[in-house]
Structure 1
Amino acid sequence: MDAFTRFTSVAAVLPNENIDTDQIIPARFLTTTQRAGLGKFAFADWRYDADGRERAEFPLHRADLRGAGILLGGRNFGCGSSREHAPWALLDMGIRAVISTRIADIFRNNALKNGLLPIVVGEDEWQRLAAFEARELTIDLDTQRIELPDGGAIPFDIDGFARQCLLRGVDQLGYLLSEDAAISRFEQTHDALTRAA
Structure 2
Amino acid sequence: MDKLILVRHSETEGQHEDSPLTKLGVRQAQVLAAFLDHSGYEVSRIISSPFLRAIETIKPFARMKGIEIEKDERLEERVLSHTPLDDWEEVLYDSFQDPELKLTGGESSTEAKQRVMSLVDELEQVEGNVILVTHGNLLALLLQKYKREFGFNEWKRLSRPDIFLVQKQGGEYTVERIWDDPADFKINV
Task: Give me the TM-score of the superposition, normalised by structure 2.
Answer: 0.30
Larger radius of gyration: 1
Higher relative contact order (CA 8 A, sep 6+): 2
State the TM-score, normalized to the length of structure 1: 0.29
